[in-house]
Structure 1
Amino acid sequence: MRKQFKSTVMELAARDEKIVVLLGDVSVYLFNDFKTSYPDRFYNLGICESTLISVGAGLSLRGLRPFIHTIAPFITERCYEQIKLDLCYNRLGGNIVSCGSSFDYAWDGATHHSYGDLALMRLLPEMEVFQPGSGKELEVLIKKRYHSGKPAYYRLSDHPHQVDLDVEYGRGVVIKDCGADLTVVTAGPLLANVLEACKDLDVNILYFHTIKPIDSELIQLYSHTTFLIIQESHGLQEAVNQEAGVKSFAHGTPEGFCNCYGTLADVRKNLRLDPGSIKAVAQGLLCK
C-alpha cells in the first residue's frame, strides 16, 4: 500500500502544486522521486511526530495540502493533542497517512502495535477516518478526499487483501447477502481471512473501508440481524454501534496488551483472527 500511496501522491502533485509531503524519517527512500521532482514541497522532519502535525497544520493554514506520514501509533497516539488542537479545532485540512497498521510490526512489540488509532481518530470532530484494505481502495479514497478541507486519517497496511471491490467514499460494500440472521462485518485487510472463514457459512458479509463517516444506510438495512464484527483494532464496532437498533458482538480486538511476538500471522492466530478461528466463532453464533 505504501507504494500505491507514493504513486498516487506523485500523480496528484504533478497537477496540484499545493501538495506537500511531510515525513517522520519513514518511507524517505520511497519518496526520493518526489523529493527530486518537488524539493521545495518535501520535508523530512525526523522522529518528531508532534512537530509533523503542527507544521502540517501551519502549511494547511497557508493554503497548502499536506500529506503527513509515519508509523501508526507514533502519528496518532503520540501526538493526539496536536491533531485535536492544531488540525481539528482550527478546522484545517490535512492528510495523516500511517503505516504499520495493527500488528504489521508484530515483532517490535507494544511500542509499534496500533489497535487504538482508528477509535481515537473517529472521536475527533471533523475528522474523516479510512481503513483501506487494498491499493485500489487507497487510491480512490485519497483522490476523492485529499482536498476536501477536512482533516483525514488513512491507515495503510503492508498486507492488503487481493479482492477487487467497487469503492465509493462513505459507502460500505455488500460482499454477500443470503438473507441470513447473522451478518459478519469487517474492515480493511482482514477481509481476506473473513472471506476464507465464511465461504461455506450461511451468513451475510459487509465490508467497510470508510470508518467515519460510516455508511448508516447500509447498517440500518441489516440492523434486524445480529452483527458479528471481526476486527483487530478498536473503531469499527464503535462506529457500527452508534446506529440505533444494532445488536453486535466484536471478535479479535485484544482486551489487554498483545504480548505475542513473531509475524502478523502469528499475532492473528493468537487473537483467534485466523480463518479457522473466525469460522468457529461464526458457527457458534449460528447455533444459538
Structure 2
Amino acid sequence: MSSTTTTDPVITSGSASAPADQREAFYGLLPRLLADDDRLVVVLAAVGAGYLDVPEELAGRVVDVGIREQLLVSTAGGLALTGLRPVVHTFPPFLVERPFEQVKLDLGHQGVGAVLVSAGGSYGWPAGGATHFGPRDVALLDTLDGWTVHAPGHPAEVEPLLRRAVAGDDRVYLRLDPTSNARPADVTDDRWRVVREGGCGLVVAVGPVLDRVLAATEGLDVAVLHAVTVRPVDAAALRAAAHVPEVVLVEPWLRGTSSHLVAEALRDRPLRLLALGVDRAEHRAYGEVADHDRLHGLDVAGLRRSVQGFVAAQR
C-alpha cells in the first residue's frame, strides 16, 4: 500500500446551510474566509483539492504542493514568515506524523503560526488502511509547545472554531472527525462543560464521542464533562467537576493521550484514572468505522462495560 494517495474518499453532498459532515463544512467555509481576509492562504497536498470550489479571483491564494507533505508544512512556515496566515489541510498522518520535523522547526522553532486542519480522524476512511489512520496526532503535538487543539463534535462547530483560529497568529490544530454528535456544543469559548450530573465518578468525553458516552452511561450515577478545545486543558472545569477520585477519560485518538494532563490538573487530589481511546496494538483491519469503534471499545456497548466496571470496582 502506498504511504500517500491522490484519491479522496467520497463526500456526501449536503445543503450550504446544513453540511453533511465536518469536512464538508470546512470546504464550504474556506472560500468565504479567503474573501474576508487578505492574509489567508490555503495550502494543500492534493487531498481536498477536488472538493474546494474557490472563485477565480481567489484561486491564487490556494497552493497545492502535490503529494509532498514535508513541503506542505515548510511552505506554510515560509508563508507565515511573510505575514500571511496559512490554513494547511490533509489527513492526520500526512499533516502531523510524516512532516513532524517541519511542524517542529518550520513552525515552532521559527516562532510562526498556522492553522492545521485534518480530516479523517483516527480511522475515518477505513478503505485507506493504516497509512491513512491518524490516532497519534495529538500525542505528537503534545511534545511541542504552544499548540491549541480543537476537536469539534458537530459540523456546526467548525465555523466558529475555524474563524477564531484564522483570526490569530498562533499555532492551532483543528481535528475534523467523520462522526458527529446529534447537536452542536457551545464553542463560544474554550471551557469544558458539564452535560450530566452524577456522584460516583466523572467521565470526560472529548469532541465527537459525547453522544456515545451519554448513551453508554445512561442510568449510571456518573457526571459527564464535554471538552471540545482540549489544548489547553480546562483545569478549572475539570477540578470543579471531579468530586470523587474516579475519572474516566474518553478520547477519539490514542488511548491515554491526555492522561498526564488530567493527572497534572488533579495532582493534589486522590485519583483513579481510566483512559479509553484507540488501542496502541496493530490490528491490521479495514471494515467500516463502526467496526473500528467496536474493536477499540469505543462503541456504546464497549464504553458501558468499561465505565460500569471501573465505577463498580471502587464500591
Range class of TM-score, shorter chain = over 0.9
- Corresponding letter in the other structure for 1:183: L
Relative to 1, partners in 2 of residues 1:107 and 1:40: Cα closer, same or farther, differing over 3 Å? Answer: closer
Query: Which aligned runs of 4 or more in structure 1 are off by greater than 3 angstroms?
Result: none
Identity %: 31
Note if 1:14 corresponds to 2:35: yes
The answer (yes or no) to whether the contact 2:39–2:85 under 8 Å persists in 1 is: yes
- Corresponding letter in the other structure for 2:170: K
Deviation per CA, 1:205-251: give whole Å up to 9, x if none: 01111121111101111334211112241333343233123531112
Q: Name the structure 2 match of 1:229.
A: 249
Larger mean Cα displacement after TM superposition, 132-141 or 42-51? 132-141
Q: 3-state SS of the aligned residue for 1:119?
A: helix
Separation of aligned partners in 2, 1:61 and 1:115: 30
- Corresponding letter in the other structure for 1:209: V
Relative to 1, partners in 2 of residues 1:232 and 1:257: Cα closer, same or farther, differing over 3 Å? Answer: farther
- Corresponding letter in the other structure for 1:119: A
The answer (yes or no) to whether the contact 1:24–1:44 under 8 Å persists in 2 is: yes
Note if 1:190 corresponds to 2:212: no
Which aligned pairs between 1:4-153 and structure 2 lie closer than 5 A? 4-31=25-52, 33-34=53-54, 36-153=56-173
Separation of aligned partners in 1, 2:100 and 2:230: 18
C-alpha deviation, 1:163, in angstroms: 2.1
Q: 3-state SS of the aligned residue for 2:102?
A: helix
Q: 1:248 aligns with which of 273, 285, 306?
A: 273
Q: 3-state SS of the aligned residue for 1:242?
A: helix
Deviation per CA, 1:134-160: give whole Å up to 9, x if none: 122221111112232111111111222
C-alpha deviation, 1:35, in angstroms: 5.5
C-alpha deviation, 1:277, in angstroms: 1.4
Q: 3-state SS of the aligned residue for 1:76?
A: helix
Q: 3-state SS of the aligned residue for 1:111?
A: helix
Aligned residues: 286
Q: 3-state SS of the aligned residue for 2:284?
A: coil
The answer (yes or no) to whether the contact 2:47–2:91 under 8 Å persists in 1 is: yes
Q: 3-state SS of the aligned residue for 2:247?
A: strand
Q: 3-state SS of the aligned residue for 2:112?
A: coil
C-alpha deviation, 1:195, in angstroms: 1.6
Q: 2:236 aligns with which of 196, 200, 217?
A: 217
The RMSD of aligned alpha carbons is 1.6
TM-score by length of 2: 0.86
Q: 3-state SS of the aligned residue for 1:123?
A: coil
Unaligned stretches of 5+ in structure 1?
Answer: none
The answer (yes or no) to whether the contact 1:122–1:129 under 8 Å persists in 2 is: no
C-alpha deviation, 1:5, in angstroms: 1.0
